[in-house]
Amino acid sequence: MTDKTHLFEYLLRLGDNALVLGQRLGEWVAHGPELEEEMAMANFALDYIGQARLFLSYAGEVEGQRRDEDQLAFLRDSIDFKNVLLVEQPNGDFGQTIARQFLYESFYQFQLEGLSRSTDTRIAEIAERVSKEIRYHLRHTRKWVLRLGDGTDESHKRIQNSFDELWRFSGELFVADETDNWAVEHGIGPNPETLSSRWNQFVGAALTEATLIQPDDGWMDGGGRYGRHSEHLGYLLADMQFLQRAYPAASW
Amino acid sequence: MYTQGLDQKPDTEKQVDGTEQLVRFQARIDADEKIEPKDWMPDGYRKTLIRQISQHAHSEIVGMLPEGNWITRAPTLRRKAILLAKVQDEAGHGLYLYSATETLGVSRDQLTEQLLTGKAKYSSIFNYPTLSWADIGAIGWLVDGAAIMNQIPLCRCSYGPYARAMVRVCKEESFHQRQGFEIMLELSRGSDAQRRMAQDALNRWWWPSLMMFGPSDVDSKHSAQSMAWKIKRFSNDELRQKFVDVTVPQAEFLGLTMPDTDLDWNESRGHYDFGEIDWQEFYEVLKGNGPCNRERLAARQSAHDDGAWVRTAAVAYAQKQKRRCQAA
Ligand SMILES: [Fe+2]
Ligand SMILES: [Fe+2]
């Protein structure tokens, strides 16, 4: 693969993670447990959609096939989506969304830290800006992990269960493949394998404080980055892409 | 805006009885002074405000539902971002308005309860469905547009906290209105299918938008007292006419046809004449018989029920933390 195809691939992964997560969070709007949380969800969704636009429009430029952010978002099928499986998992109850966000954002913060030192100045600038957003999200999300974990028996049971369920999707975050190795070699981004001990520490500390048990690393699912997704992604894309598919080439 | 049901129930109508306090209160209002939460106010004034502001707050919240429908299906990432920001603004409006209501001595829990039990009303406009993307345009253009007409005078409302909340809300509503119009513009300049979508949305939203201003002045019982208290500054019909006058040229600009064969410029009045509103429909929707009344309340109810364990957990956690702090 050439540098160009590697970079394109790398940006798609970043963009798709943000896009799919933004789409999931958007589903919460008007259905949250309280008004303040609905606002927070909308705000976080908005941040992720903004990030997706930055990464995907850059990806389109790198590819050089005149595909813009919308063509990449709305006109690829799931086989070409490069997000990790964790972000496409359904919202479930509020606790499950919090668990998913927490696991992912704990990883994303460290990934962004590495990306902000990227030799690719555009990536570095985006990462710099996004880091601030994710720091804010994480403060909020971590607080909810504590509240639910150390709240009532019911909330404790529910969120423990969510962490147990989602844990199998955490492994994929830290597997370095050819594209990651290319990124490391060129100083584009961090080696995901090196992020896992900090992630474990960060997540472990929060779970302990929340009186929750850190699940064992058993069998780990994966494949999202290669276009092998869970069944959930198809429905998400069907919803998201409907208008662009139904009215090809229309302008909105 | 969002308070059209108010004009029906005359139970807060209390005549000024001439006591000294009332006379002083009215004098302050007449002098355009702001009434603040700690000031003395007549019971009827307080009740009217609670009802009006909370109804307005509920409308902001329920209004998130029809628009929220389209967040996951917005046609471009830019449109999705704009819609998310808009819906987030509406939640913010709900929050300021609940806070303004709380200054009058009602708690947010009570207000939520009133909404869910159907005791409190919200604007009927949100009981209509959003069937296509064009509806998101039509809501911004017409519904936020009508809201602005109603709310700009409220920025000078005699009750300080409400007036101040309205100043902030109005700025955001005018942004929403422009975004909605922009969606309609894009559609009306688009393909035949898109124009059809836009026209259909206008056909469905036009009359309900006119109903947002409330019953006609002849049937509106509350106006006189609310006007004297400077809670209301223009009559329903005056505001409705203003809205029609502003909106008809916009529809022409879009190349869309208003669904009203009686609509015509009246040179001598200097206003547009328009057809008779179907008041039967208005009262039916108000009574709960609109296309989505049940769905809207059910959605709020299930959000409330599904979130109960979360709210309980947050309270339990806060109590534990407090005990830990005291113990330490
Ligand atoms: Fe609003
Ligand atoms: Fe609005």
Residue B4 has pLDDT above 90, yes or no: no
CA of B151 to the centre of ligand 1 (A): 10
Q: Which of residues 188-227 of A touch B (CB under 8 A)?
A: none
Q: How many CB pairs under 8 A join A and B?
A: 142
pLDDT of residue B17: 54
Ligand 2 geometric centre to CA of B309 (Å): 30
Q: Which helix (H) or strand (E) holds B158?
A: none
Cα separations (Å) of A210 from A42, A218, B25, B210, B314? 25, 22, 54, 53, 12
Task: State the distance from the centre of ligand 1 to the C-alpha of B173, rounded, in angstroms.
Answer: 6
Residue ranges in chain B assigned as alpha helix (H): 20-30, 43-62, 64-68, 77-102, 108-116, 133-138, 145-151, 160-188, 192-211, 223-228, 236-254, 279-287, 293-306, 308-327
The rounded distance, in Å, linking the Cα atoms of B174 and B57 is: 18
The verdict on residue A219 lying in a domain is no
First and final C-alpha spacing in chain B: 51
The answer to whether B194 contacts A250, with C-beta atoms less than 8 Å apart, is yes
Interface ipTM:
0.97
Residue type for position A41: M
Nearest-angstrom CA–CA distance, B87 and A30: 9
Whether the per-residue pLDDT at A245 is higher than 80: the answer is yes
Residues A142 and A134 sit within 8 Å (Cβ to Cβ): no
Q: Which residue of B has its CA nearest to A158?
A: B309
How far away, in angstroms, is B211 Cα from ligand 1 center?
17
Task: Return d(Cα A106, Cα A47) in angstroms, integer.
Answer: 16
- Please state the domain count of chain A: 1
Q: Which of A23, A27, A39, A143 has the most B C-beta neighbours within 10 Å, making it the best mutation to test the interface with B?
A: A39
> What is the distance between the alpha carbons of residues B67 and B57, in angstroms, rounded to a whole number?
16
CATH number of residue A84's parent domain: 1.20.1260.10
Q: What is the H or E stretch that residue B157 is in?
A: none
Tell me the backbone φ, ψ of residue B35, rounded to 5 degrees: -90, 130
Contact of A93 with B306, CB cutoff 8 Å? yes
Domain contains A42: yes
Interatomic CA distance for residues B215 and B247, integer angstroms: 20
Residue from the list B87, B186, B318 with its beta carbon closest to the beta carbon of A251: B186
Is residue A163 one of the residues assigned to a domain?
A: yes
In contact, B44 and B14? CB cutoff 8 Å? yes
Banded pLDDT at B219 (limits 50, 70, 90): confident
Which chain B residues have a beta carbon less than 8 Å from that of A251? 186, 190
Which of B91, B190, B308 is opposite residue A38, by nearest beta carbon? B91
Q: Is B320 close to A252, i.e. CB distance below 8 A? A: no
Question: Which of A35-39, A100-104, A182-186, B239-243 has the weakest average pLDDT?
Answer: A35-39
Q: Torsion angle of alpha carbons A6, A130, A120, A194, nearest 10°?
A: -70
Question: Is A176 contained in some domain?
Answer: yes
Tell me how close the Cα of B304 comes to any Cα of chain A, in angstroms: 6
Instruction: Say what the pLDDT of residue B217 is.
Output: 86
Q: Measure B152 CA to nearest chain A CA, in Å.
A: 25
How many other β-carbons are positioned within 10 Å of the β-carbon of residue A79?
10
Average pLDDT over residues A201-226: 97
Burial of A112 (0-12, 13-18, 19+ CB in 10 A): buried
Q: What's A3-18 look like in SS3? A: HHHHHHHHHHHHHHHH
Q: d(Cα B3, Cα B125) in Å, to the nearest integer? A: 11
Q: Looking at the complex, report in whole angstroms how far the Cα of residue A83 sits from the nearest Cα belonging to chain B.
A: 17
Cα separation, A61 vs A41, in Å, equals: 30
Measured in degrees and rounded to the nearest 5, phi and psi for residue B276 equal -75, 130
Half-sphere exposure of A109 (CA within 13 A, CB side): 20
DSSP string, B47-90: HHHHHHHHHHHHHHHHTHHHHHTTTTT-SSHHHHHHHHHHHHHH
Residue A153 has pLDDT above 50, yes or no: yes
Pick among B64, B95, B309, B320 to test the A interface (most A CBs inside 10 A): B309
Provide DSSP, A172-184: GGG---HHHHHHH
- Can you give the pLDDT at residue B328? 79
For residues B3 and A46, the model is more confident at A46
Tokens of A183: 């990124």
- Contacts (Cβ under 8 Å, ≥6 apart) of A139: none
pLDDT in tens, A39-93: 999 999 999 999 999 999 999 999 999 999 999 999 999 999 999 999 999 999 9
Per-residue pLDDT, B114 = 95
Output Rg (C-alpha) for chain A, integer angstroms: 18
Q: CA of A11 to nearest chain B CA: how many angstroms apart?
A: 17
Q: How far apart are CA B165 and CA B169, in angstroms?
A: 6
Q: Report the chain A residue with the minimal C-alpha distance to residue B60.
A: A30
Which chain A residue lies closest to B80 (C-alpha atoms)? A49
- Whether A68 maps to a domain, the answer reads yes
Contact across the interface for B303 and A33, Cβ inside 8 Å: yes
- Is residue A120 situated within a structural domain? yes
- Would residue A100 count as lying in a domain? yes
pLDDT of B2: 67
Mean pLDDT of chain A: 97
Q: What is the mean pLDDT of residues A193-221?
A: 97
Q: What pLDDT is attached to residue A212?
A: 98
Residue of A33, A154, A251 with shortest CB distance to B307: A33
Summarize the confidence of residues B160-165 as an average pLDDT.
95
* CA atoms within 13 Å, Cβ hemisphere of B303: 25
Domain that residue A21 falls in: 3-214+224-246
Chain A partners within 8 Å of B72 (Cβ): 23, 26-27, 236, 239-240
Integer Rg of chain B from CA: 21
**Residues in CB range of B176: below 8 A, 6 or more apart:** B86, B89, B140, B144
Residue A192 in any domain: the answer is: yes
